[in-house]
Structure 1
Amino acid sequence: MNHLASLRNLAAPWALAALLATLAGCATYREKPLEIDPATPLYVDARAMPLPALREHRFDPSDGLDQTEVAMLAVANNPDLRLLRDDLGIQRAQAFAASLLPDPQVSFGQDLPVSSGPGLVNAFTAGITQDITALLLRSSTMKASRLDTRKLELDELWAEWQLVAQARATFNQVRSDEALLQELQSMLPDRERLRESVQAELQAGNLTRDVASGPLLSIADLQKQIDDTAQKLNLERHTLKLLLGLNEHAELRLVDDPVPTTAEQIVPADIDQRLAALPERRPDLLALRIGYQAQEAKLRQAVLKQFPTISFGLSYARDTSNITTRGYNIGFTLPLFDRGRGAIAVETATRQRLFDEYQTRLAAARSEVDRIRLDLPDLIRRTQQAERDSERLRVEQQVATQSFADGMLDWNAYVTLSTASIARSMEAVQLALTLQEQQEMLRTLLGSELPVPPEAGR
């Protein structure tokens, strides 16, 4: 009896010390106020870019943003990408949690005799219990969590690839509309002189209203084109700012970036090889494959959970008559009703959906690549023809403008030629933009760089 008392007196300080050490290692809560972050200077780490062309480009916004710098800033600062990276951070935290061993459960209780009598002592019970099933399932849980993390990493990479294409396309649209607006505005002085000439002829009685309506309407149409282009340009610039994560008051100065001519924009020679290797090149397809592997692990885990959950514990107790006992306890569930059938059915159906999603995505990707490949030759031909026509009409318009100013060309011929030049120029610009977008989409769909292998982290 004295020996047991001495043992308890010795164990109590150590138990208290162990408890205090455990509490000292716990995380502490720190409040994070919800407030608007102040504007930060533009900074891009080129080493973190997802494509070689971006990693090799020097980011220097002091002289304006070229097309590649716009793509780099979008990858680094896009709000939707930041949320996706936050989701990835949550998943990595969940993977860390899945790797931790389950904590044992310690219990202690004491019974105090209500009545006094010879030989009565305070009774106590102490025990420790460990969930065995959690230990058995830990391996499959960790595997599924690691695969889910890798899937989100590849989803992020695919989102970055798509964002690069979107940023480049928006940059091209803004720059093209800026040039178009400048060209349209440069025609206003000549059209104003035309309006004055027509008004003078009307006042002199040399023209009737129905004859003069043609040139006057062309002037109104030019002003409408200017207003529509300016409104469209304003929307595009705000869209680009949102894409880059910039506020509405941020200065956005874009500069030209060398763009291949239409003659150089051809279908890649190795398109068939890339198309065949699409499942190993496209991050989204790799993500779906890894997600399917993660679902297989979750299904195996659900199957294992249908067996009884087991817990094991050790106990040490003393009753009021001062009799001490040592023992153990084993607990398990009886698989009579649930038996994990619901969880297995859910995981099986989820696996089937992921299987179908992968097949659908792969078929859609191949179909889209094939469509662009067939469309590109005709699109290149039309763009080149429109550019040649636009350049020829631009030269003819310059000659016509001078002839009209010298009184050697009537206003009807001048308006007809000028209107045709504007229309063909706008068509050439739109065709060139469509061609650039299709080329960029083709590069994205085919996968311009092999992702990191599934076994490695980024």
Structure 2
Amino acid sequence: MRRPLLLACLMLTVVLTGCATYHPQPIAPMQIAQRFEERTLASPELRAYLARQLGHDIDPWPLPRWNCEMLTLAADYYSPALDIARAQWGTAKAGIDVASAIPNPVLQLPFQYATPNPGPGAPWVVGPALDIPIETAHKRGYRIDQASHLSEAARLAIGNEAWAVRTQVRDALISLYAARQHTAFLSRKVDAQQQIVAMLTKRRSVGENSGPDVDAAVLAATQAQADLAAARSAEQDARAQLATAIGVPVAALDGVQLDLDAFGAVPPAPPVAEEQRDAVFHRADLLASLADYAAAESALQLEVAKQYPDIHFGPGYTYDTGTHKIAFGLAGITLPVFDQNQGGIAQAEAKRKEAVARTAALQDTIFNDLDHALVHYQASLDAVQLSAGHLTTARKQLDSQAASFTAGNTDRLALTQARADYQASEIAHLDAVVAARQAAGRLEDAMQRPLAPETANPTVTQDEISR
């Protein structure tokens, strides 16, 4: 009787020695806040990350000027949203290990005391036995397929989130460019308006102008000053928006030179229809939706396979009051008499239909967004051409006034008013260019592809969960 117990204890010892141990990792909010406050665009860890993404060393460091592509890569490094997406992919990949696990056998230790003792031996009935489950109908393979498709969907979600981060960085830079340009134009306009007020006030003192003329000039100067204050406030808001998109404190942008020149150029023409359709079918969210559908398909296959019962093989040894018994047999087979998993199959079929509807709805939304973005983008390009023509005319008028002033045919007031009017034309053209840039961004978002080749890859490397 001692040998079976000793064998059972030995088996338990061997099994338990391979178990994992728990290691606590408490969260310290103060340390998290401190790490956030210490983030900069000059850290050596960021430099190493950029070098890995670009395939070459970054020299000089820190960068003298940061463009949209490099800031996007910095956002990929610091973005908490991407950290969440990477962690979710890690969870999904762990699901594959769970799905591929082979069911463990069950050790049974029956123990009885017989009285009166029917045999010549000790009055004990004891001995180890095993319940070895054997899955049938490829159930384990379907579970692995389902988990693999869910892992692929989570991996593609990283790319989709990376594009969202790129969009936030791009939009923040466009807003910052617009605010800075507005500040520069409005500063010159405010100077011109103040000069106009000073000249009209002086003329009024000698009786050359009426009161309403001065009042109108003061109103125009006040409005220009209010617009300038709004532009400066918008610049600060854009800086905060950019810092949030990158995942750094606003103070981390102090002293950082930003390369915003590209936003002043007219965006490129939209790609041809074939390229647009090809880009749409490669969107990360659409591919992730297809992976979710494949997971639903595998889930349905698993539910169908559950109609076939698993086998439980039960070998064992029993010491029965002096008699040694070795058992070979089936511990049990579930008989599909009352339930043939109709409910599970019906639910899996409904979820597959739901996945089909979700994918179709997403694709319809994508194509509608693409059509709307194309129309809006083309209209914005037309508006840029019109504003450019108007700006050219305004420049000619300003040059004509300047020439007339030099020749003595126009006074300084008329020349200053022409300069103020030209600043208004420059602001209108700037607004048209910014609107075109924003429309180009919406078109890029619809395709999840840049309109022009870029010097750096704006998407995060998806083969890594952690940085």
What TM-score results when the alignment is normalised by the length of structure 1?
0.81
Residue type of the alignment partner of 2:98:
A
In the other structure, the counterpart of 1:11 is 7
CA distance in 1, matches of 2:355, 2:127: 51
In structure 1, list runs of 5 or more residues that go unmatched: none
| 192-201 or 295-304: bigger deviation | 192-201
In structure 2, the CA distance between the partners of 1:203 and 1:264, relative to structure 1 (3 Å rule), is: closer
Residue type of the alignment partner of 1:322:
G
Asked if structure 2 preserves the Cα contact closer than 8 Å seen for 1:109 and 1:126, the reply is: yes
In the other structure, the counterpart of 2:152 is 150
Asked if structure 2 preserves the Cα contact closer than 8 Å seen for 1:400 and 1:409, the reply is: no
RMSD: 3.7
Question: Counterparts of 1:176-325 in structure 2 under 5 Å?
Answer: 176-201=178-203, 207-252=209-254, 253-257=256-260, 259=262, 265-268=268-271, 271-278=272-279, 280-319=281-320, 321-325=321-325
Residue type of the alignment partner of 2:21:
A
In the other structure, the counterpart of 2:453 is none
Question: Counterparts of 1:50-449 in structure 2 under 5 Å?
Answer: 60-112=61-113, 119-133=121-135, 136-201=138-203, 207-252=209-254, 253-257=256-260, 259=262, 265-268=268-271, 271-278=272-279, 280-319=281-320, 321-327=321-327, 328-335=329-336, 339-390=340-391, 392-393=393-394, 396=397, 408-409=410-411, 411=413, 414-415=416-417, 417-418=418-419, 420-446=421-447, 448=449
SS of alignment partner, residue 107 of structure 2: strand
* CA apart distance, 1:81: 1.6
Asked if structure 1 preserves the Cα contact closer than 8 Å seen for 2:5 and 2:127, the reply is: no
| 271-280 or 210-219: bigger deviation | 271-280
Identity level (%): 16
1:438-457, CA deviations, whole angstroms, 9 ceiling, x for partnerless residues?
A: 334434544549x9xxxx97
In the other structure, the counterpart of 2:454 is none
CA distance in 2, matches of 1:264, 1:185: 27
CA distance in 2, matches of 1:137, 1:243: 44
* CA apart distance, 1:31: 2.5
* CA apart distance, 1:288: 1.9
The total of aligned residue pairs comes to: 438
SS of alignment partner, residue 262 of structure 2: coil
CA distance in 1, matches of 2:178, 2:191: 22
Residue type of the alignment partner of 1:30:
P
SS of alignment partner, residue 64 of structure 1: coil
Asked if structure 2 preserves the Cα contact closer than 8 Å seen for 1:110 and 1:123, the reply is: yes
* CA apart distance, 1:142: 0.6
* CA apart distance, 1:141: 0.6
Larger RCO of the pair (alpha carbons < 8 Å, separation 6+)? 2
1:294-324, CA deviations, whole angstroms, 9 ceiling, x for partnerless residues?
A: 21001111122234454332232233x3333
In structure 2, the CA distance between the partners of 1:371 and 1:72, relative to structure 1 (3 Å rule), is: same
In structure 2, the CA distance between the partners of 1:79 and 1:17, relative to structure 1 (3 Å rule), is: closer
Question: Which of 12, 30, 41 is 2:24 aligned to?
Answer: 30
| 378-387 or 71-80: bigger deviation | 378-387
Asked if structure 2 preserves the Cα contact closer than 8 Å seen for 1:401 and 1:414, the reply is: no
In structure 2, the CA distance between the partners of 1:310 and 1:201, relative to structure 1 (3 Å rule), is: farther
1:84-131, CA deviations, whole angstroms, 9 ceiling, x for partnerless residues?
A: 111111111112222222222212243356889984433324221133
| 349-358 or 245-254: bigger deviation | 245-254
2:28 paired with 1:21: no
1:349-402, CA deviations, whole angstroms, 9 ceiling, x for partnerless residues?
A: 221122122223223333333444444444323213313433553575588689
Residue type of the alignment partner of 1:94:
G
* CA apart distance, 1:241: 0.7
In structure 2, the CA distance between the partners of 1:213 and 1:338, relative to structure 1 (3 Å rule), is: farther
In structure 2, the CA distance between the partners of 1:141 and 1:48, relative to structure 1 (3 Å rule), is: farther
In structure 2, list runs of 5 or more residues that go unmatched: 451-456
CA distance in 2, matches of 1:127, 1:157: 51
Residue type of the alignment partner of 2:326:
R
CA distance in 1, matches of 2:134, 2:241: 55
